[in-house]
Structures are given as C-alpha cells and as structure tokens.
Structure 1
Amino acid sequence: MDQFDLLVVGSGPAGRRGAIQAAKLGKRVLVIEQGKRVGGVSVHTGTIPSKTLRETALNLSGWRERGFYGRAYRVKQEISAEDLRRRLLITLDHEVEVLEHQFARNRVQHMRGKASFVDPQTMQVVKDDGEVINVTATSILLAVGTKPFRPDYIPFDSKTVLDSDELLDIEELPRSMVVIGAGVIGIEYATIFSALDTQVTLIDPKSTMLDFIDKEIVEDFTYQLRDRNMKLLLGQKAEKVERLPSGKVELTLDNGRRIATDMVLFAAGRMGATDTLNLPAAGLEADARGRLSVNPETFATKVPHIFAAGDVVGFPSLASTSMEQGRIAARVAVGAIAKEPPKYFPYGIYAVPEISTCGLSEEEVKDRHIPYECGIARFRETSRGHIMGLDTGLLKMIFSLKTRRLLGVHIVGEGATELVHIGQAVLNLKGTVEYFVENTFNYPTLAEAYKIAGLDAWNRMGDIKSEL
C-alpha cells in the first residue's frame, strides 16, 4: 500500500492544476486517470477537440472570408470528416505531450486505472493489466469530470444517433442534423456544423436559451443563426427518436411535428462521472446528476480531507474556472494558504459566432436596482471590422450611474473570447467609463470597439453626478 500527501482522481483541468500545485509545494502526489492518455474529458472529448473542430471548420469552409466573397466561397470544396480529424489528432497529441512533460518536470506520479473508495482514506485502483492495488493519501481530490447524459428513450448507435463524445468519431459529414439540447455544448456543435453547410435544426423544451447570458446578446446571436437558415425549435420537446430503414432518423415532437434527418446529436446535459467511485464507502453521496456538493471557497466536501473540483461540482463548468478550483483545492488540502480569485471571470461560448461575457448582465443589474447606462459598439463601425469583412458583431458595456464603474461586458462576434479580457481587467480593477474614453487602443483593431462603446455610454450618461 502506497501513501501520498495528495491523491488526485482525474487529469483534466482541475486535476492536473491541483496535482502540479501540490507538487510545487513539495508534496508527494499521485494522479489516477482511467482514460488511455492523460488530459481527461477536456483534452480528449470536450474543450480542446470541440474548439479544434470549430477552428478547422471555419478555416476549410472559408467562413471568415464570406463577408467579402459571398456565401458560396469555400477554401476546400469537399470537406470530409477525415479533414476535421487530421488536425484534431495533431492538436491532441501536442496537448498530451505538454501535460506529460509538466507531470514529469514537477515529479507528479500518474497511473492508468479505475479508482474507487475502500474507506475515506483509501482508494482501490484496478489497473489496465488487471492488477489491483490500494493507495492511501492524507487528502484526496476528486476531479473526475462529467460524461454525456444518455436517456433510455434515445436509441444511441454511435453512427446516426450520437452523444457529444461520439460526434468526434463520425465517418462522414451529414447533410442534415438535429441537435437536441440548446445548452452550451449543443449550441456550439450546432453552429459549427451549420458553418460547414449542414442543415441544422436545434430543439429544446425551454422557450429560451442561454438564460445566464445578457438578453440583448442572445437576441443578436439568435438573429444571426436564423439569418443563415438554422431552424430553432424552442419550447418543443423530442418525445420519440427512431431509426428508419432508409438510414435516416425520424423525430416526433410533443406537438406532433415530425422531422427526418441524417444525424441526431443528443446534447441535453452531462452527468458527473461519480458512479464508479463507491462514494458511500467515503461517506459521500452525489446528487441526481452525479455532482458533488462542496464548500465554494475551499472546495472541500462534507468529509474534510476529501475535495472536489471542476465540472463534477457543477456550474460554471469551464476549463478555466476548473483549473482555479483545482489549484485552490490542492492548496487547502496540503495546508497552504489559498487566496480567493478575483470576483469576475469570463465565460466563453465557442459557437459560430463566439459569445463571451464577464460581470453583470443587464437583467442582473435591473434585479439589483442599480441605476445604470449601456454603451454599444458594432464591429462594422470599426475599421478593422471593415478590413475583415464583418457585418455582424456587437460589444456591450454596462456602467453604474452612481460610481461610473464598469459592471459588465458582453460580446458576440469574431474574437469575442479574446476581446473580453480587456473588460475583465477593468472590472476587477474597478475601472470607470473614463478609462475607455481617455485610453488609446491600437488602430485598426476590434478592441477599438471598447472606445466606441465607452463613448456611447459616456455621451448617454451626460452630466449625471458620480458618487465616487
């Protein structure tokens, strides 16, 4: 039986960041990963693959140049699934190589196998070769991530009816696709395949989507999707999915509508991958979606020496926030001081177009009864936008009338997930509208939209007295 200071289950963003942090503090760390290679869902089926797929699709389809050359413009006339997979494999190999080097450089031990609790201090690991060993640790960090939710009424076959993990292995691009689930994952894949000129229909029982995003941004995003002929069937539920002898798939909705399509992607939620951990042996239990409850400041579970971080603890389920959660959990677990991260973090949705947001939405500002004003800039107002051929894209900032401080920044359009960091910095440094009015931005850049939006808000705010 081996003894470690910290045992980490899972090598995704939370697990690897937590493991490396503890190792840098001189602790003996073991990472257990049940996948074939380290990296977890983020590297192999989630964040990195989906973003690589997006970038490949936009490049090969010529999507970014269509503003100049028309909707029919394509870099490669016939795009295959193999074209998409080739770039994906190169990217994944690089990610795994970097991670393995980080583990080696920081002397983090890792092994492949399935871990489950024997008691609160001990985990049993069944290795690939069948060998079973027990490992004990002073502290344990569960960073097992999530897996797709697969309800019984969906006839998954890995070819025409798939979950989001299986989508990366398709053999050919479908001419038509129905995506069930208008959450972040469903929307990302729906818009990526739409950019590849697949006819996409998006279905969700809720009448709205992305409710945590500023409503004005969602409205602009929705307009862009409809403008390119994506069908959005919100407020409608797929009650029956069946494969037809022709090879197509037929869906029956709760309103009686029937849809035939080449492929169905079911992306209506994910479940914490906790079902094999034997949680009761450690005095823990997961909720109905397999998620673990933790202290939001330390990420400790109700068993003080067992921590959990990443997607398995629920919202926001971002690789970026998972890394910070893992780092904080590891520091607390080994008895080090852990500073609370800055209040505002960016949320990025890698759809086509991108959406990114940081801070309060206009709806949240209203709910808090904060007097406010908004400033808006459209990318087509910038010289860089003209150079790039952009006719869409929107940047919105919200400012307090009392303090003139920035309250939130919300962006939809090209480069949104990069641009948002300027607003994030100003938010966390408690900057005001004057920063954007008086500061100089490179010209021509899309970042100039900050100045345009700042001036828009400043003009609207007029001579209203600040309480700074």
Structure 2
Amino acid sequence: MAIGSLARRKASTILSSRYLKYSFSVSRGFASGSDENDVVVIGGGPGGYVAAIKAAQLGLKTTCIEKRGTLGGTCLNVGCIPSKALLHSSHMYHEAQHSFASHGVKFSSVEVDLPAMMAQKDKAVAGLTRGIEGLFKKNKVNYVKGYGKFLSPSEVSVDTVEGGNTIVKGKNIIIATGSDVKSLPGLTIDEKRIVSSTGALALTEIPKKLVVIGAGYIGLEMGSVWGRLGSEVTVVEFASDIVPTMDGEVRKQFQRSLEKQKMKFMLKTKVVSVDTVGDSVKLTLEPAAGGEQTTLEADVVLVSAGRVPFTSGLGLDKIGVETDKAGRILVNERFASNVPGVYAIGDVIPGPMLAHKAEEDGVACVEFIAGKEGHVDYDLVPGVCYTHPEVASVGKTEEQVKALGVDYRVGKFPFLANSRAKAIDDAEGIVKVIAEKGTDKILGVHIMSSNAGELIHEAVLALNYGASSEDIARTCHAHPTMSEALKEAAMATYDKPIHM
C-alpha cells in the first residue's frame, strides 16, 4: 500500500516556491512587559481569530483587533455562514415544491416567508459570533474592537468602534485582514440594485430577474439561492467556462445540472456598461472577443467577479511591507514578511482565498512564532461549491495532470449506481479519481453529488497520506452510504468497479 504516515514526516510548511521571497528567521521572542503582547493579530476572521486562540493556547499573551465589531470576518458575518444558511433554506423550499410529493408528503400550498428565512440566517450568524467571543474569553485572548493601522513594526494604532483610540504593542504582529469584493469599472455597488455578495444576502424582496456577473463559486451559490426562490437567473461570464479551476469533465456535468434548474449562462460575454435609470437595471453586453452589443434587463445585478486582498489603511507602506502587483503581502515559508516581526496569513497572501486555508495558515504561523513547526500544503486544500448538487475537489484536475506530462489513469462512478443515492432519490452526480499510472498514487479526486463537501474529506486524508486508489478501494465502507461511490470509483481506477 502507498499509505505513509504524517508522524514520520518532518512537520514543515509546504508552500509553492513562487509564493516565497524571504528566507530569514524573524521570531522575536516573547514579551516581558505587562503592556506588550507576544502576538497581536489584526483581523478577527477565520485566519485571525484562529491564530489568536492558538497563540493563547500556546501560552503567548495575545490581542486580536477587529474593525467590524463582531468576530468571524467576512466568512461568518457576510459570507460562508449566512450563504449556507440561505442555501439550505432555499433548498428546503425547492424540495417542498418539487420533491416532497414523490416521497408521499403532500400539502395544498407552500410559500416563502422571506423575513423569517433571513431571521433564521441572522440568528445563526449572531450565535456563532458570540461563540467566538466566548472562546476568546475562555482562552484569555484580549479583544479590541476597532480599525488597526501600523505606527511601527511593533505598534498598532486602533481607532475603536466607541470613537476613541488606543495603542496596542506586540513583538509579533500578524496581518489577517482578509479580502474584499473585486469591483468592476463602471459599476457602482449600492447594495440595493447592484449588489455584492453582502447585499445578495440581505435582499428584502425576491427579484423577478437576477443577473450574476461572474460564474465562480460565490456567484453560482447566490444565483442558486434566488433561483430556487423564484428568480429568473442569468449568469454573465467573460471566460469560456464556469468555475475555471474545476475539473473540465465535472464542470460540464455541473453546468448541465444548473441549466436543468433553469439557470441561464452567457459565457464569453463582457459587461460594457450598466444603466440604473428607471425601474430596472439595464446591462449592455458584447462578446468577449468583440462584436455586436446586446442589452439585458434585471431587477438586481450581483457583482461576483472575485475578491482582492484587503490592506487599505493598514499603513503597510509606512513600515515598508512589500506586496506584489495584486496587492498581496509577500511572505516566506514561515509567513514572515520582509519586515522583521510582521507576518501575514489568509487572503492577504498568495494561495486559495478560502476560510479553511486561512485557518490553517493561522495555526501554522503561530506555531512558527512559538518555536514549533507548522504545516500547510496548498495543493491539498479542498474546494467546495455549495449548490445542489455540490461539487467538491482536492488535488489536481485531469487538465493539470496532462499539463505536467504524467501518465495517469481515471476511475469514475455515477451516483445513479449508488444504492443510497437511489433510495433517497438524489442520484445526480459522479465521483472521479485520478491516479498516477505507475504507482497508483492518487493525484486528485472530484465529486459532484449531494453532500459532496462532506464526502471529499476521505479523499483529502488519503492524499495527505500519499494513498493509492487501491488503498481506498480495499477499505471497507458502510452500506448503504453515498461514500461507497468513492470506493467504487477507486476500484474503477486500479481495476474494475462492482456495481457498474
């Protein structure tokens, strides 16, 4: 078998060399004065609050600064958590409309109570933000609410939410300020008719027509929410494909699935201008390669063209922190910037802009500061699109493996042949396993199915341990479960599946 052991590895951060610039060690020791922190974290999102808690758990005097006034960052407040709440609620409504009757559950009518749906979302967010504050108290993390900016590499000036100012000192300062919505020329986001993901999570009415600019994860998820609730959704994408980072074969099936859900796509299309005069929003479009212009009307336009690092107003230039052309902070393998004592993690540095990646960065960074060894492998960060069906992946796509010139084999298994999926009448999707031909080592796994985001983690663990497809295939899986589809796909990779 190809299974290795993480315990036998040297625990080290695995970062792509193109992201690294500095190689010196910059840990500056721990504070002795009562007013100075060992670690100061600027930003209370998934990377920042996790880093702060881990630092405190390692015995370091820690302060976390957060401008929003509530912890959890974009993810918890206006991103991952509220969007998943609405995705689930809208899916329940859609199922009640279209699927319950076939399961013998009938009722005369079903309707959307949008204020109640939004209240459920807000309740989930409030409970989780309070939970993080509780964890801060439990672990003795000092929490400062306000906007922090550097006075020096060891001092942060904080304009507090109460209107005052305080200076926070630290021997090691971690920048964890996350990212912001990427704007487009000629589009002014007012969070009413032209909205970012933040505004799309707080609409007070279900738009009759919703146009989504950008066919990435966020745009497709939010388009799914409002499409299920009754909006006519059109996705406009400049590129030739939706979600370009997704495995090509899986992506095609995914797009067909969304089209069956009445989501329309205009690919290779450029937004030239947007006119908000009148009752509707009018978009002028043209082919990405140039050509005849057309118009498209909508009640609401969601701008979902990506995200950019948020470093505005931090005073990075004042202390000389170096960034790249995209505004990302350059760090070495220990997350240290070129300025001794200043570190950066999460969305402000190169790598996937994902909450769970930021969390791993935060833990590893603090472990390095504490004199330990950290470990993050950006090649093994799972990605999930939380539509229905979900699409989850880890490792390399078939296109990436081809580009590397590696001989490989592919095993696939459809959920139509999975007994649990058939039993619950939710059998749309596929598992695809890619393995090196000579060694059978798994290179990538891609799943499109209900709950794919949960199923993917067996594959994440397998890749972390260098497993072969045969390792998964020879591991007993409970029956009947959706996870058996991964076992069968692994069997198809090195030999033949049983149930197909």
TM range (shorter): over 0.9
Query: Aligned with 2:456: secondary structure?
Result: helix
- The amino acid of 1:242's aligned partner reads D
**Match for residue 368 of structure 2?**
332
Q: State the distance in 1 between where 2:154 and 2:326 align.
A: 25
**Match for residue 252 of structure 1?**
284
**Match for residue 7 of structure 1?**
40
Deviation per CA, 1:86-106, whole angstroms, max 9, x where unpaired? 211121122112211111111
1:121–1:137 contact (8 Å) kept in structure 2:
yes
**Match for residue 420 of structure 2?**
384
Q: State the distance in 1 between where 2:476 and 2:470 align.
A: 12
**Match for residue 171 of structure 2?**
138
Q: State the distance in 2 between where 1:270 and 1:342 align.
A: 18
**Match for residue 15 of structure 2?**
none
Q: State the distance in 2 between where 1:180 and 1:75 align.
A: 37
Give the deviation of 1:194 after TM superposition.
2.1
Query: Aligned with 1:376: secondary structure?
Result: strand
Task: Please say if 1:415 is aligned against 2:451.
Answer: yes
Residues 150 and 74 (structure 1), Cα distance of their counterparts in 2 relative to 1, 3 Å cut: farther
- The amino acid of 2:74's aligned partner reads V
Question: Is the deviation greater in 181-190 or in 407-416?
Answer: 181-190
Q: How does 1:132-171 map to 2 (within 5 A)?
A: 132-171=165-204
Residues 383 and 67 (structure 1), Cα distance of their counterparts in 2 relative to 1, 3 Å cut: farther
Question: Is the deviation greater in 73-82 or in 277-286?
Answer: 73-82
Q: State the distance in 2 between where 1:344 and 1:272 align.
A: 22
**Match for residue 94 of structure 1?**
127
- The amino acid of 1:50's aligned partner reads S
Task: Please say if 1:267 is aligned against 2:304.
Answer: yes
Query: Aligned with 1:189: secondary structure?
Result: helix
- Counterpart pick for 1:436 among 461, 467, 472: 472
Q: How does 1:93-112 map to 2 (within 5 A)?
A: 93-112=126-145
What TM-score, normalized to structure 2? 0.86
Give the deviation of 1:360 after TM superposition.
1.6
What TM-score, normalized to structure 1? 0.92
2:352–2:378 contact (8 Å) kept in structure 1:
no
Give the deviation of 1:365 after TM superposition.
1.5
Q: How does 1:271-286 map to 2 (within 5 A)?
A: 271-286=308-323
Q: State the distance in 2 between where 1:237 and 1:132 align.
A: 45
Query: Aligned with 1:62: secondary structure?
Result: helix
Q: State the distance in 2 between where 1:193 and 1:28 align.
A: 45
Residues 141 and 134 (structure 1), Cα distance of their counterparts in 2 relative to 1, 3 Å cut: same
Residues 351 and 289 (structure 1), Cα distance of their counterparts in 2 relative to 1, 3 Å cut: farther
Give the deviation of 1:437 after TM superposition.
3.2
Task: Please say if 1:316 is aligned against 2:352.
Answer: yes
2:96–2:110 contact (8 Å) kept in structure 1:
no
Aligned residue-pair number = 458
- The amino acid of 2:439's aligned partner reads T
2:171–2:341 contact (8 Å) kept in structure 1:
yes
**Match for residue 208 of structure 1?**
241
Query: Aligned with 1:165: secondary structure?
Result: helix
1:298–1:329 contact (8 Å) kept in structure 2:
yes
Residues 439 and 339 (structure 1), Cα distance of their counterparts in 2 relative to 1, 3 Å cut: closer
Query: Aligned with 2:201: secondary structure?
Result: helix
- The amino acid of 2:280's aligned partner reads K
**Match for residue 55 of structure 1?**
88
**Match for residue 405 of structure 2?**
369
Residues 406 and 304 (structure 1), Cα distance of their counterparts in 2 relative to 1, 3 Å cut: same
With CA pairs under 8 Å and 6+ residues apart, which has the higher RCO, 1 or 2?
2
Question: Is the deviation greater in 1-10 or in 441-450?
Answer: 1-10
Query: Aligned with 2:420: secondary structure?
Result: helix
1:112–1:127 contact (8 Å) kept in structure 2:
yes
Aligned residues: CA RMSD: 2.3
Give the deviation of 1:448 after TM superposition.
1.0
Q: State the distance in 2 between where 1:364 and 1:185 align.
A: 23
Deviation per CA, 1:44-98, whole angstroms, max 9, x where unpaired? 011111111111111222279639739xx99973214313212111211221122
Query: Aligned with 2:191: secondary structure?
Result: coil
Task: Please say if 1:307 is aligned against 2:356.
Answer: no
**Match for residue 447 of structure 1?**
483
- The amino acid of 1:284's aligned partner reads V
**Match for residue 160 of structure 2?**
127
Q: State the distance in 2 between where 1:155 and 1:340 align.
A: 37
Q: State the distance in 1 between where 2:265 and 2:471 align.
A: 39
Give the deviation of 1:299 after TM superposition.
1.3
Give the deviation of 1:278 after TM superposition.
1.4
- Counterpart pick for 2:69 among 22, 27, 36: 36
Q: State the distance in 1 between where 2:277 and 2:162 align.
A: 41
Residues 42 and 75 (structure 1), Cα distance of their counterparts in 2 relative to 1, 3 Å cut: farther
Residues 117 and 229 (structure 1), Cα distance of their counterparts in 2 relative to 1, 3 Å cut: same
Task: Please say if 1:355 is aligned against 2:355.
Answer: no
- The amino acid of 1:280's aligned partner reads D
Residues 320 and 336 (structure 1), Cα distance of their counterparts in 2 relative to 1, 3 Å cut: same
**Match for residue 212 of structure 2?**
179
* Structure 2: gaps (5+ residues): 1-33, 287-291
Question: Is the deviation greater in 48-57 or in 78-87?
Answer: 78-87
Task: Please say if 1:457 is aligned against 2:489.
Answer: no
2:87–2:224 contact (8 Å) kept in structure 1:
no
Q: State the distance in 1 between where 2:382 and 2:97 align.
A: 24
Q: State the distance in 2 between where 1:36 and 1:25 align.
A: 25
